[in-house]
A = this chain, B = another copy of it.
């Protein structure tokens, strides 16, 4: 598992850190990365602050195989992501001719300087557009950094558009099982199962369901047979505590 490609998600936007907006992209990207065999190692939420964006990008793009950013590529003054990505790579921004042409056709005399900002990409090699049917303004890729919109429907569409470019390792598979037991009652047995299956990552997630205690166990790894065997042992453990284990989400 350790030689699989890695990724980091950078969520850029004051609106997340102010509590105005609930992020609705990370969970989507995370699930897709798992399917694609890319290990999502970290996510960061950072403000619309140029120095912070540039510094964070330069740290992340050196550390991970892929970096995905969301937010800040619109037409308004607070959309500074493209400029910051270019700065992080020591590049200038230029207007992409093809994007200018289709924006001219689409907006006509409503095309203005603000909108033309959405045609900007970093200059130089290793840059390509990330298209989506959701919007006329594209995202873009520069080397290992993928720059997407923040609006979830657009961000998800752009992710699907770039996904074929990602080189994944073995897909991360998972299985789960849950029962009305308290995790403190199965914790010791669970630790023994984790020790027996070191290549399967076993997580325990307690919650309240129908007014009673519930524990969901998630097993993740690249070997379906091992996941299933580990979960069978978890089921036995749960039954010993009076639980009625079932696959659950």
Contacts and interface: CB of A to CB of B under 8 A. Distances in A.
A44 interface: yes
Nearest to A103: B184
A190 interface: yes
A165 interface: no
A187 B115 contact: yes
Contact of A74 (B45, B114, B191, B206): B206
A207 interface: yes
A31 interface: yes
Interface in A173-211: 174, 183-185, 187-188, 190-191, 194, 201-207
B115 A184 contact: yes
Interface residues of A, number: 63
Contacts of A16: 26-27, 30, 43
B45 A18 contact: no
A233 interface: no
A23 interface: yes
Interface string A24-55: 00111111111000001111111110001000
B26 A23 contact: yes
B34 A191 contact: no
Interface of A: 14-23, 26-34, 40-48, 52, 74-79, 107, 110, 112-115, 117-118, 151, 172, 174, 183-185, 187-188, 190-191, 194, 201-207, 218, 220
20 contacts: A17-B43, A18-B40, A19-B40, A21-B27, A23-B26, A41-B47, A43-B44, A43-B45, A48-B203, A74-B184, A75-B184, A75-B187, A76-B191, A77-B202, A77-B204, A78-B201, A112-B187, A114-B184, A114-B188, A117-B187
4 A-B pairs closest in CB distance: A19-B31, A114-B187, A19-B30, A76-B204
